[in-house]
Amino acid sequence: MKVPYAIFGDQWIGFDDERSIRNKMKWIKDNGYGGAMVWTVDMDDFTGTFCSDVKYPLIGAMRFVLELIM
């Protein structure tokens, strides 16, 4: 699945980062799908202050890979 995750005791959480998004978008294109859906945009770093200095790094990664391969 190539996604980051965190474990604490018997609890775990999986999440996406720019690398996992790029892997997913490449898989979508390699398998002939027409695009991707985003469940919620408000979980992305819309200010560019938490994850990196880029606003919307996850949506940006999706767009970059989908446009690059098209």
Helix (H) or strand (E) holding 5: strand 5-8
The per-residue pLDDT for 8 is 96
The model's pLDDT over 7-65, given as tens digits with 9 standing for 90+, comes to 999 999 998 888 999 999 999 989 999 888 888 888 788 888 877 778 888 888 888 88
The per-residue pLDDT for 27 is 92
How many angstroms separate the CA atoms of 60 and 38, rounded? 12
When pLDDT is cut at 50, 70 and 90, the band that residue 70 belongs to is low
pTM for the whole structure: 0.77
